[in-house]
Chains A and B, each alone.
Chain A
Amino acid sequence: MEEDLQRSNIRIYSNVFLLPTSILDEPFRFQVRGRVAIRALLVRKFGGFHDADIANWARGWVNDWQLKEMRTDLRCVHCRRIPEGVDFVGNISFRCWDRRCNPAGSIHSGAQSVRTR
Chain B
Amino acid sequence: MSGVAAGIDFGTTRSALTIRRAGSVVHVGTGDGQPMPSVVAVNRLTGECQVGEEAANRMEQLRDTHLIVRSVKSHLAEGAHWEASNKLWTAQDIAGCIFDALRERAENQAGPLPESLPTVVTTPVGYSAAGRRALRAAASAAGFSIEAFVPESTAALFPLQGRLHAHRFVVVVDWGGGTLDVSVVEQERRSLIERATQCLSTGGDAIDAIVAEWTMNKLGRDWSALSAADQDYILCVAERAKRQLSAAPETRLAFTIGSEHGTFVLTRQQLASLVAPRVEDAIHVVRSAIHLAGISPDQIGRFVFIGGSARLRSFRQAVQTDETFAGQEEFPNEPDWFVADGAALLAETRGRYLAAEGAGMLLSDGSVHSLIQPGDEVENLDRTIRVGLIEDAATAQIPVGRFPASRDGESWIGHPERFHMVHCLTVPTMGFSDEVIGVRFRMSPDLTLHIQAGSHQRGEQSDWEWSFQPLALMYKLPD
Residues of A at the B interface (CB closer than 8 Å) are: 12-19, 22-23, 28, 31-34, 36-37, 40-41, 117
Contact between chains at B388 and A13 (CB < 8 Å): no
Tell me which residues across on chain B come within 8 A of A23, comparing CB atoms: 388, 433-434
CA distance A66 to B310 in the complex (A): 62
Q: Which residue of A lies closest to B369 (CB)?
A: A18
Known A-B contacts A19-B436, A22-B434, A40-B432; the reply to A14 vs B391 at CB < 8 A is no
CB proximity to A under 8 Å, residues B359-379:
361-366, 369
CA distance A34 to B391 in the complex (A): 6
Contact of B399 among A14, A32, A41 (CB under 8 A): A14
Name the distance in Å between A66's Cβ and chain B's nearest Cβ. Answer: 11
Contact between chains at A14 and B397 (CB < 8 Å): yes
Known A-B contacts A31-B364, A31-B365, A32-B432; the reply to A16 vs B437 at CB < 8 A is yes
B385 within 8 A of A: yes
Contact between chains at A36 and B387 (CB < 8 Å): no
CB proximity to A under 8 Å, residues B77-113:
none
Contact between chains at B396 and A16 (CB < 8 Å): yes
CA distance A37 to B399 in the complex (A): 21
B25 within 8 A of A: no
Tell me which residues across on chain B come within 8 A of A15, comparing CB atoms: 364, 389-391, 393, 396-397
Residues of B at the A interface (CB closer than 8 Å) are: 361-366, 369, 385-393, 396-399, 421, 424, 432-434, 436-437
Contact between chains at A37 and B398 (CB < 8 Å): no
Name the distance in Å between A29's Cβ and chain B's nearest Cβ. Answer: 9
24 contacts between A and B (CB under 8 A): A12-B399, A12-B421, A12-B424, A13-B399, A14-B362, A14-B397, A14-B399, A15-B389, A15-B391, A15-B397, A16-B389, A16-B390, A16-B398, A17-B387, A18-B363, A18-B386, A19-B387, A23-B433, A31-B364, A36-B391, A36-B392, A40-B392, A40-B432, A40-B433
Contact between chains at A17 and B390 (CB < 8 Å): yes
Tell me which residues across on chain B come within 8 A of A14, comparing CB atoms: 361-364, 397-399
Contact between chains at A19 and B396 (CB < 8 Å): no
CA distance A32 to B392 in the complex (A): 9
Contact of B386 among A19, A31, A34 (CB under 8 A): A19
CA distance A19 to B457 in the complex (A): 15
- Extra 12 A-B pairs, beta carbons < 8 Å, given A15-B389, A15-B393, A36-B432: A14-B364, A15-B391, A16-B361, A16-B363, A16-B390, A17-B364, A19-B436, A31-B365, A32-B391, A32-B432, A34-B392, A36-B391
Name the distance in Å between A92's Cβ and chain B's nearest Cβ. Answer: 16
A13, A19, A33, A41, most chain B CB atoms within 10 A: A19
Name the distance in Å between B388's Cβ and chain A's nearest Cβ. Answer: 4
Contact between chains at A16 and B397 (CB < 8 Å): yes
Contact between chains at B398 and A18 (CB < 8 Å): no
Q: Which residue of B lies closest to A32 (CB)?
A: B390
Contact of B388 among A12, A16, A40, A117 (CB under 8 A): A16
Name the distance in Å between A52's Cβ and chain B's nearest Cβ. Answer: 21
Contact between chains at A17 and B365 (CB < 8 Å): yes
CA distance A12 to B432 in the complex (A): 20
Q: Which residue of B lies closest to A37 (CB)?
A: B432
Tell me which residues across on chain B come within 8 A of A31, comparing CB atoms: 363-365, 390
Q: Which residue of B lies closest to A27 (CB)?
A: B365
Tell me which residues across on chain A come within 8 A of B362, comparing CB atoms: 12, 14
Tell me which residues across on chain B come within 8 A of A12, comparing CB atoms: 362, 399, 421, 424
A13, A14, A17, A41, most chain B CB atoms within 10 A: A14
Tell me which residues across on chain B come within 8 A of A33, comparing CB atoms: 364, 390-391
Contact between chains at A16 and B364 (CB < 8 Å): yes
Tell me which residues across on chain A come within 8 A of B388, comparing CB atoms: 16-19, 23, 28
CA distance A23 to B421 in the complex (A): 27
